Amino acid sequence: MKKVIGIDLDGTICTESTGDDFMEFRKTAIPLPNALKALRKLQEDGWTINIYTGRNIKWNEFTKNWLHKYDVPFDTLTCGKPPCDLYIARNNIKFENNWNEILCEISEKEAMLLSEKEKKETDTHPENNQECC
């Protein structure tokens, strides 16, 4: 079963801008502690990693190059918020520079997701639907 996780780039995977010069920030951004290790673990656990960003589409090529430069594991890069099973950002699974805690939370949520998906698959197959009297 395919599991898709969306992870915000700025402030979750890499350092976030603290000033007004976003161009300079993007050139000097570095991966946050434990981010790459956590992403590799997610990939090993079978997650499809969709990195998303609020950056303008004109930064797409620059951003892909940055991801490759730091060997960031990912399957897709999206400008905007893509459809995923879970999100790691400032909401859903809240990122507070706590990658180890996030991996534990993902394991807990994964069990719930699998159970929900299995139920939906059962409910959508006509042979599994029974008429109630």
- Count Cα atoms within 13 angstroms, Cβ side, for 119: 6
Domains defined along the chain, listed by start: 3-125 (3.40.50.1000)
Q: In tens digits, what is the pLDDT along the chain, a chain of 133 residues?
A: 678 899 999 889 998 766 666 666 677 889 999 999 999 999 999 999 999 988 888 888 989 999 999 999 999 999 887 777 778 775 567 777 778 888 888 887 777 766 665 555 544 434 433 332 2
Helices and strands (DSSP H and E) totals, the chain: 4, 5
| Per-residue model confidence (pLDDT) at position 132 | 26
| Per-residue model confidence (pLDDT) at position 17 | 67
Residue 34 burial (10 A CB sphere; 0-12, 13-18, 19+): middle
